[in-house]
Chain A
């Protein structure tokens, strides 16, 4: 239904408002139709505008819409569903309550008149949403009938017993409830005991339950003691600290619960109890460590006091390290300098968390003298010590230490952490001396490090597989040129052996929205590894979804088919959805159109050279000249060279085709009577220019270079090209030395090549400069008797279709 909008009319008629019609004098039917045509609304303003029209026309608008619903197998309801549910949203909005009654009435009438069960259900749901919420809907759940609760306490199902207890406790006084808890704590079932504690707590309060548990604590079984200790800890009951601390040495679940509770309750007393447990070690020591890591408040005094008495206690130092108690650093340094291998290693580990930038020279010295495992640990510690410095500070500090180091390579990671250009330069040079510089480079976020990493991987792929992921993420995060990015990833993919790494690279490839990336990912759809195939499938799907270049329907289809086969075999829900997504992407494209000869061409004997389906009648560069949705697409993809040639040779002919520029400045040409593998403009009869001469980059073009010119010989009339993406027709007629070029029906060149150069296709004196041609060059092929017709050049971005030829020599 066409939308009725007429401002003048509405102004005139608004003076005579009629009931049942709106300001624009539309009937309700028209309003409904107008609204349906605008469904779904894309934003709140549009929504409010159309819904207010509908609401004002309620209940009739609702009834009309309701009657428009058809049974699900008889047609589409979505727009009407949007309109109706939209109206429910609008009228249920407290800001539009004036419409609620009429809209509700409409839904009720609509539902009553509706014969289809499911549509009726939908209409009733709308009426329901518009109805007031009754208190009943939010009443509490029914509890157990008090009459059966007592009996239910004997149930074998602990859950039922808990539920019974909840009811019983609910009906008790606080004192009774506490007594009930006393007996429940004797129960053998822990879930029941804890549930009752919870219920009684609600009745009598945390502190009353706490006091009761404190009082009865000594008499509780070990199991119930554990529960009580957990309760003390969870509620941070400092009144129970005596009980808690009395159990910390018990071991087992009771001891563990006590230590945990002491940590949660906190305070100086708990701290003084936990620190010795920590120092003593063992299982309880581990539990105390956990408790003290999260112990609230400043614990450094207690830890330092204990360390004063027990200088090299490993557990105390672990805590100091975890909580960054820097005063403990000297102890850790002392251990790290020990002659005993085990002690030394322990000390090195403990340093982590205890160092600052001031410690860097000292750490560097330790690192220089460390054993293998020490190198690993201390590298991490050094990086922590450097954390507070910025890049240039790090670089100057570390580079200053390099000359003194026996093992300078151990400082490479620290140097790399500066991320400075100087560090890249230093490390790139160091690669030849020490391969560990490669790993350091790979740890950097500075993109300048990438070339050195890649050349290292190339020189010895097997040794540098481990830096590939970092290299890929460096490229991924920094390379903004998509084409370069795909090239780099393609290169490193070829050097990667481990399937999981290949899959990771493919997932990066999948984020690049270009055809080149699509082609690259497509190459891995048949990989022998399932994980690689799966990631390739995701990549082609993701690229196709967001691709900024045109993709060929048939290639996409075959890639998706391969991908779907892999994805469906995993049984994973997301994978299944990815297949659906592939189908939906594909459904937005249509299969390639096929060109056919006009009846007139048919009669004259034209031959179809390219109808959109195959390049069978062509030869040459199939890398840069590819099939694309019914066109020959010319691209710079891959490493193809050369031109595209007809399979047959021609002398005199009429050649027709359509071309379309996809980007500014496209440059191609039609080679005439040319041999293969040469420059048709000189070694063929000639090249007829295909050029987007309107592009600003060609502002200083010679006139013999514009589109349609016989390159270097006869200038064409300069035309204005159609906008990018639109198709133009072209005809080139060649008879003897005569050439005629017609673009979009206009003859833009009509001339004789022999006449144009006065018969001197080459300089009469044999020199390279030919005064007779406009480009002053020799054109030795100009008088070829026949040759191929070609498309020449492989700059990105031109499409050609519907190529036909009429061979006049026959």
Chain B
């Protein structure tokens, strides 16, 4: 029953070569199938690009019968070797190791490209993976610029790929320090009981930390490049700046060239579920206001407050670390009521009311099912692009230190050339994103 994954996942040539395709039980997961061996043809294979940080984490550096890690890539030879050794140690497998991500992407044995590099590579690698006919599992933030995000959306569509952005709070897990999952909040908002428009406050006071320790340093001294690191390749599309250890590896988030500090690191985690809850997955705020000290052009600094406003008056307020509102602060506030941490709500018997309502529209939350049935993942390139754009809008406003107005249809800032230049930042040759 059903068709083999290889028929739709793999190159058309396989069947013609006369290979025997083993049938799979598509509902295997539901029965008592834990002991069921996965036929090789039912395996989905993945390769990780960037195995220094996220790519080396327990969550991602994994390999199962169903979803098998076959290759790793890193421009730091030490990271690459460590990953290969770990593959041997943890899974008893010899992973293919690559220095150049393009070789990993073009491996015919590979189904899914897992992008765990610094963000300045995410867009470019996603597009290259899509062109090579691979599906994509990309760490957040989705892209470092709004323009790169747009191209990822185009490429994924054009090449018929499946894309998953890796943050997950819109569909599972307790939402950081908020003490609740997003589901009841979504149901409550959809019920209309809170009224409209809503204001959402993402702050230390509501359970979120902005990781302001991701800050860059000014006046970096020039240091010798360590022999194991291909720094030029690590920079890739980013402008070449003399090497200093603080630019790379654990600290890159503190530099605008590669990420946007704590806002870049955590912003999409926090804002993506809000876009979903507010039903804004297909649009953007029309205005972003900032309160921040002047930013250095290279090193990311702190900010006090970022306020987004949507056309209908909904707002998202980000409060910087050390600049939180005092007292009991609601996470969501509307004309009809307030919701605090732990789903504490000013509306009586809210839990019972919520329980009577239908669950939110079902989405595909199993990435492997997305790959098998070509269904959009719950957090796909489209809503990922939208929520990442909200983050990037904030970062641009912080960098420029002024209020920006955004046209959600044209997807650009209104009457602000500098802000629009930051939508599409030039890439260092020979790197370019051609969809």
A residues in contact (CB < 8 Å) with B: 39-44, 47, 72-73, 76-78, 81-82, 84-86, 88-89, 92-94, 118, 121-122, 125-126, 128-133, 137-138, 140-143, 156-160, 162-163, 166, 188-196, 198, 221-223, 226-227, 230, 234, 251-254, 256-257, 260, 263-264, 283, 286, 290-291, 293-297, 299, 322-324, 353, 356, 387-388, 571-574, 576-577, 580-581
Contact = CB atoms under 8 A, between A and B. Distances in A.
A227 B374 contact: yes
B355 A324 contact: yes
B56 interface: yes
Nearest to A165: B160
Contacts of B131: 159-160, 163
Nearest to A39: B294
A323 B251 contact: no
B303 to A, nearest CB: 11
B31 interface: yes
| Secondary structure of the A contact surface, majority rule | helix
A256 B26 contact: yes
Interface string B318-355: 00000000000000000000000000000011011001
Interface in B383-435: 399-402, 412, 415-418, 420-424, 426, 434-435
B2 A130 contact: no
Contact of A118 (B242, B249, B401, B422): B242
Interface size of B as a range = 35 or more
B241 interface: yes
A40 B12 contact: no
Interface of B: 1-3, 7-9, 11-13, 15, 26-27, 30-31, 52-54, 56-57, 82, 130-134, 147, 151, 154-155, 157-162, 213-214, 218-222, 239-242, 249-251, 291, 293-298, 301, 348-349, 351-352, 355-356, 358-362, 373-375, 399-402, 412, 415-418, 420-424, 426, 434-435
8 contacts: A78-B218, A138-B423, A159-B133, A160-B133, A188-B12, A194-B160, A222-B3, A322-B355
A222 B1 CA distance: 8
Contacts of B401: 44, 47, 89
A47 B358 contact: no
A781 to B, nearest CB: 54
A89 B400 contact: yes
Given A94-B415, A159-B133, A192-B160, A324 B400 contact: no
B132 A159 contact: yes
A72 B242 contact: yes
A377 B23 CA distance: 41
A571 B293 contact: no
Given A92-B400, A324-B356, A223 B8 contact: yes
A132 B420 CA distance: 9
B218 A142 contact: no
Contacts of A84: 297
Contacts of A227: 374
Contacts of A283: 27, 30-31
A226 B160 contact: no
B373 A190 contact: yes
A262 to B, nearest CB: 12
Contact of A156 (B13, B56, B218): B13
A479 to B, nearest CB: 19
Nearest to B349: A388
B194 to A, nearest CB: 19
A81 B298 contact: yes
Contacts of A387: 349, 351-352
Contact of B221 (A44, A73, A93): A73
Given A158-B12, A158-B160, A222-B1, A230 B294 contact: no
Contacts of A221: 3
Contacts of A581: 213
Given A252-B26, A286-B30, A576-B250, A122 B297 contact: yes
Contacts of A82: 294, 296-297
Contacts of B155: 141
A40 B299 CA distance: 12
Contacts, number: 244
B296 A81 contact: yes
Contact of B374 (A42, A132, A157, A191): A191
Residue of A88, A138, A142 with most chain B CB atoms under a 10 A cut-off: A138
Contacts of B351: 387
B9 A89 contact: no
A141 B154 contact: yes
Contacts of B154: 140-141
Contact of B15 (A77, A160, A188, A572): A188
A291 B362 contact: yes
A226 B132 contact: no
Nearest to B53: A573
Nearest to A575: B250
Contacts of A92: 400, 416-418
A200 to B, nearest CB: 12
B222 A194 contact: no
Contacts of A42: 293-294
Contacts of A162: 158-160
B27 A264 contact: no
For the complex of A and B, the 7 pairs showing the least CB-CB separation, nearest first, are A195-B160, A190-B8, A159-B133, A92-B418, A162-B160, A159-B159, A141-B435
A296 B360 CA distance: 9
A586 to B, nearest CB: 15
A117 to B, nearest CB: 9
A188 B417 contact: no
Given A41-B294, A283-B30, A353-B355, A253 B373 contact: yes
Given A222-B3, A572-B53, A573-B250, 5 more contacts: A121-B240, A158-B160, A191-B160, A294-B362, A388-B352
B418 A129 contact: yes
B27 A256 contact: yes
Contact of A293 (B294, B358, B399): B358
A92 B375 CA distance: 43
A189 B258 CA distance: 37
A156 B435 contact: no
Contacts of B213: 577, 581
Nearest to B360: A294
A222 B161 CA distance: 21
A387 B351 CA distance: 8
Contacts of B348: 388
B288 to A, nearest CB: 14
B362 A264 contact: yes
Residue of B154, B355, B374, B426 with most chain A CB atoms under a 10 A cut-off: B374
Nearest to A194: B374
Contacts of B422: 129
A39 B132 CA distance: 48
A158 to B, nearest CB: 5
A131 B417 contact: yes
Contact of A138 (B30, B415, B424): B424
B286 to A, nearest CB: 16
